[in-house]
């Protein structure tokens, strides 16, 4: 199968490191194409970044056309997820939603450990949107900037992440950790080794869940709100995103 991994920010090295994490868990016959938008923020750390990144997601979904069997949005805010599902029949998975699903299979309650404290509300909104308020026991920021995770594979951030995870597990009495950034994919195995509890990386979770949906022959419904957008002109720089 053909899997499109979209990094909604515009940092190519982060696209590459998430593609590596995806290929580590993908089936041998899964071909992963990793892309990022031609415009937008180098990292997504707030509402303003997210809105522009969502348009970048739509640019890449439209560019892929019908060539992909599934699409992954590799940013923990799942920017543009619903709009992307309108734009294609292929299943579209956000790494936050995928991680919440995976965590709920292995724990009665999980904690999210993420980057800047200011982004915690974005994760909390997704917990409510996806109906995980009874399983997510807390969202915790570390004030580690997204791009700090790009330096030497994020290893320098592991001690601070480990401390934040231990504090979250104790405070929330939770049984698993969901990592709140695609850039943490490269350190999830090391954190799980150190913590001894399930540590869920949304990039890996989204890959295997996407493969499962394709294997089940499931595609995004075109009945109702995920129906293809109505024919409409978009003006200005958004012109190419019109229908
Ligand atoms: C992410 N930002 O996964 C989110 C993490 C965050 O550029 N990739 C980003 O802080 O919300």
pLDDT in tens, 7-30: 999 999 999 999 999 999 999 999
Biggest distance spanned by C-alpha atoms of the chain: 53
Q: How far is CA 51 from CA 46, 156, 242, in A?
A: 9, 30, 17
Q: Are 44 and 8 in contact (CB under 8 A)?
A: yes
pLDDT at 215: 98
CA atoms within 13 A on the CB side of 86: 15
Whether residue 9 has its Cβ less than 6 Å from ligand 1: yes
Per-residue model confidence as pLDDT tens digits over 46-95 = 999 999 999 999 999 999 999 999 999 999 999 999 999 999 999 999 99
201 vs 56: CA distance, rounded Å: 23
pLDDT at 13: 96
Q: Which residue among 13, 181, 186 has the greatest number of ligand 1 atoms within 8 angstroms of its CB, and so is best to mutate? A: 181
pLDDT at 231: 97
CATH topology identical between 2-94+205-241 and 96-202: yes
Distance 29 CA to ligand 1 centre (A): 29
pLDDT at 225: 98
CATH architecture for the domain at 96-202: 3-Layer(aba) Sandwich (3.40)
Whether residue 43 has its Cβ less than 6 Å from ligand 1: yes
Please give the class, per CATH, of domain 2-94+205-241.
alpha beta
Q: Which atom of ligand 1 is nearest to the CA of 75?
A: 3
Per-residue model confidence as pLDDT tens digits over 112-131 = 999 999 999 999 999 999 99
pLDDT at 4: 98
This prediction has a pTM of 0.97
Distance 183 CA to ligand 1 centre (A): 7
3-class secondary-structure state, position 55: helix
Per-residue model confidence as pLDDT tens digits over 121-166 = 999 999 999 999 999 999 999 999 999 999 988 999 999 999 999 9
Determine which residue's CA is closest to atom 8 belonging to ligand 1: 75
Q: What residues does each domain of the chain span?
A: 2-94+205-241, 96-202
Distance 169 CA to ligand 1 centre (A): 22
Q: What region, left, alpha or beta, does residue 80 occupy, with left being phi > 0 and alpha being psi -120 to 50 degrees?
A: left
Whether residue 81 has its Cβ less than 6 Å from ligand 1: no
């Amino acid at each position: 199968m053909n899997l499109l991994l979209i990094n909604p920010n515009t940092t190519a090295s982060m696209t590459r490191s998430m593609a590596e994490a995806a290929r580590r868990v993908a089936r041998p016959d899964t071909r992963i194409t990793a892309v990022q938008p031609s415009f937008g923020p180098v990292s997504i750390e707030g509402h303003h970044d997210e809105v522009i990144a969502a348009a970048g997601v739509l640019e890449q979904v439209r560019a892929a056309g019908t060539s992909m069997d599934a699409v992954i949005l590799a940013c923990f805010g799942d920017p543009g997820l619903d709009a992307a599902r309108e734009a294609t029949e292929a299943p579209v998975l956000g790494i936050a939603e995928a991680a919440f699903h995976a965590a709920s299979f292995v724990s009665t309650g999980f904690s999210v450990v993420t980057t800047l404290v200011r982004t915690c509300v974005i994760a909390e909104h997704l917990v409510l949107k996806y109906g995980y308020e009874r399983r997510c026991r807390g969202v915790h920021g570390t004030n580690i900037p997204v791009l700090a995770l790009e330096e030497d594979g994020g290893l320098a951030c592991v001690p601070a992440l480990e401390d934040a995870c231990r504090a979250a597990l104790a405070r929330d009495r939770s049984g698993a950790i969901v990592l709140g950034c695609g850039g943490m994919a490269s350190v999830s195995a090391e954190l799980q080794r150190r913590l001894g509890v399930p540590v869920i990386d949304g990039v890996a979770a989204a890959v295997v869940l996407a493969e499962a949906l394709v294997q089940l022959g499931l595609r995004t419904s075109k009945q109702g709100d995920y129906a293809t957008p109505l024919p409409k002109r978009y003006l200005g720089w958004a012109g190419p995103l019109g229908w």
